[in-house]
Amino acid sequence: LAAIFKLLVCLLVSLPLQPILLSLRRGQASVSYAQSLVGAPETRLTTLDNGLKVASEETGHATCTVGLWISAGSRYESEKNNGTGFFLEHMAFKGTKKYPQTALEQQVESMGAHLSAYTSREHTAYYMKTLAKDLPKAVELLSEVVQSCSLNEAEIEQQRGVVLRELEEVEGNLQEVCLDLLHATAFQGTALGQSVLGPSRNARTLTRQDLVDYINSHYKAPRMVLSAAGGVNHEELVGLAKSHFSGVSFEYEGDAVPVLSPCRFTGSEIRMRDDALPLAHIAVAVEGASAASPDIVPLMVANSIIGSYDLTYGGGKHLSSRLARLAVEENLCHSFQAFHSSYSDTGLLGIYFVCDKHQIEDMMHWSQNAWMNLCTTVTESDVARGKNALKASLVGQLNGTTPLCDDIGRHILNYGRRIPLAEWDARIDAVTPRMVRDICSKYIYDKCPAVAAVGPCEQLPDYNRMRSAMYWLRF
C-alpha cells in the first residue's frame, strides 16, 4: 500500500497544474483594509431645482437598490395622530392611481424585484431591490407609491385590522417593548417618547384625511433623498429623478414648515412587572450624543469596548469584553447589548440585558461598573480592541446594495452628505484612551439614568440606588 501511495503522489506531482490551481499557487495580490477604504466607490450627490437630493454609489453589481428616504417619522407626529407614518407604510403598496394593487404587484413580480418600506422615529423609507437594467421602472413605481397612493377607504379599513394585529404581535417582542418604554420614560412629555407604531386607539380612529394631511405636511422635496447603490449610473438616476420627482412640492401651505421641538431627557424609571414571564428585560440609559455630534465616535468606541454577549457565544471566560467574561463567570445574564440610539439633537447611550430575576441586581451593578470603568480606568488595549470591533462592525453592516443604499439615504438626511468609510476610519483612529475617559465622564458620570424593566423585575434596585451608583462606583 505504501508503494502504491508513493506512486500516486509522484503521478500527481508530475501532472500539469490547471489554470485555476496555477492562479492559486501564484497567489493573487491581497487588498489591505486601508486600500479597500481608499478604493471604495465615490458617493455622488446632486440636488434638483425643487430641493430633492439624488445620491448614488456605483459598485458594478448586476443588481441595485433604489429608494426614497424622507425626514418623517413618529417624532413629527402629535399625540392625536401618532402612528400615522406607520399606517401609511401599510397603505403604500395597496395600489396607486395608475396601478391598482394587483397591477402594482404584477409589475414588481415581473421584474423579480423586492419592494419594501420602514418607518422610524425620524425617517421613513420606501425602497426596491431589482436588476440594474430595471432601474427606470423601479424609480417610476417608487414615484407612484410615494406621490399617488390611492388611499382607498375600503383598503384603509382592511389595513386597520392588519395594523392592530401587528400591535398585538409587537407586545410579544419584549425587547421592543422594553426599548419603547425606555424612550417613553427618558423623553416623557415629548414627541420622541412616542412609539413608531402608535397606540391602538389611534389605529382604530385614523381617517383618510389624517393620512392625506400627513403626506401634505411632510412629503416635501427638500426633505427627500432618492438614494441608489449597485449597478447604477448617476447621470441616468438624476434624469429619472427629474422625470418622476420634479413635480414634488417644496412649498408648505401657509408657510407652516414642521419644526422639531426640542426633546428633553428625564432621568426616571418605568416598570412593567409580570412575574409570569420567565426572564426580566432591563434597559438602562443616559442621554447620549446627537447623530452629528463630534462626541459620537468616542462613544461608539466605548460601546464596542463593553460589547455584547449571548449564551450561544463561544469563548466563555476568554471573551474580550470584561462584562461578557463576568456574565459567564458569575452567570449574570442570558444576553446583553450596549447600544447608542442617536437622533438629530439627542440620543440614548445604554445597555439592554435579559436575565433571571435573581440576577437583576448583580447585572445592574456590573453594567454600571462597566460604565464607570470607561470613565476612569479604560486602557490602551481596551481602546485598541474597541476600535477594531467598531471598524469590523461598520464594514460588515454594508454587505450588499440594500444596506449601502440605506446608509446613503440616512447619511444625506443626517449630515447633508455621505461620510465615507475612510473618514470614519480616520476618526476612529484618532480616539485615545484619554478621549474615551473624558467623553464618557461627560455623558455618564453623575448623570441621572433612565431605566425600563419588563417581566419579573421585583429585585430591580430602587431608582435612587441606581442613580447614586453613577457617582459612587467611580471610587
Per-residue pLDDT tens digits for 123-135: 999 999 999 999 9
Number of domains the chain contains = 2
Determine the Cα–Cα distance for residues 115 and 99; give it in Å rounded to an integer.
Answer: 14
Rg for the chain (alpha carbons), in Å? 26
Are 94 and 168 members of one domain? yes
Query: Catalytic: 253?
Result: no
Q: Tens digits of per-residue pLDDT, 144-187?
A: 999 999 888 999 999 999 999 999 999 999 999 999 999 999 99
Q: In the listed set 179, 214, 249, which residue is the last one of a domain according to the structure?
A: 249
Work out the mean pLDDT of the chain and round it to a whole number: 90
Q: What is the mean pLDDT of residues 328-334?
A: 94
Answer whether residue 26 is part of any domain: no
CB 197 within 8 A of CB 86: yes
Are 344 and 391 members of one domain? yes
Burial class of 378 by CB neighbour count within 10 A (0 to 12, 13 to 18, 19+): buried
Burial class of 168 by CB neighbour count within 10 A (0 to 12, 13 to 18, 19+): exposed
Answer whether residue 116 is part of any domain: yes
Answer whether residue 320 is part of any domain: yes
Please state, as a whole number, how many other Cβ atoms lie within 10 Å of the Cβ of residue 323. 25
Answer whether residue 92 is part of any domain: yes
Q: Report the 3 state secondary structure along 166-196.
A: HHHHHCCCHHHHHHHHHHHHHCCCCHHHCCC
- Could you tell me the pLDDT band of residue 25, with boundaries at 50, 70 and 90? very low
- Is the predicted pLDDT of residue 22 greater than 90, yes or no? no
Determine the Cα–Cα distance for residues 288 and 350; give it in Å rounded to an integer.
Answer: 8
- Is the predicted pLDDT of residue 4 greater than 50, yes or no? no
Q: Tens digits of per-residue pLDDT, 35-79?
A: 777 778 899 999 999 999 999 999 988 999 999 999 999 999 999
Lowest mean pLDDT among 120-134, 226-240, 314-328, 454-468: 314-328
Instruction: Give the three cell numbers for residue 114.
Output: 423586492
pLDDT at residue 17, as a whole number: 38
Q: Containing domain of residue 367, as a range?
A: 268-472
Answer whether residue 34 is part of any domain: no
Are 205 and 284 members of one domain? no
Answer whether residue 18 is part of any domain: no
CB 108 within 8 A of CB 75: no
Burial class of 356 by CB neighbour count within 10 A (0 to 12, 13 to 18, 19+): middle
* Active-site entry in 89, 122, 269, 287: 89
Q: Measuring CA to CA, which residue among 418, 416, 413 is closest to residue 123?
A: 413
Are 317 and 205 members of one domain? no
Q: What percent of the chain has pLDDT over 70?
A: 92
- Regarding predicted confidence, which is higher, 261 or 6? 261
Q: In the listed set 249, 283, 304, which residue is the last one of a domain according to the structure?
A: 249
Instruction: Give the three cell numbers for residue 408.
Output: 446613503
Q: In the listed set 249, 276, 308, which residue is the last one of a domain according to the structure?
A: 249
Please state, as a whole number, how many other Cβ atoms lie within 10 Å of the Cβ of residue 77. 22
3-state SS assignment for residue 326: helix
Are 137 and 185 members of one domain? yes
Q: Report the 3 state secondary structure along 157-173.
A: HHHHHHHHHHHHHHCCC
Q: What is the mean pLDDT of residues 401-414?
A: 96
Are 456 and 393 members of one domain? yes
Determine the Cα–Cα distance for residues 159 and 151; give it in Å rounded to an integer.
Answer: 11
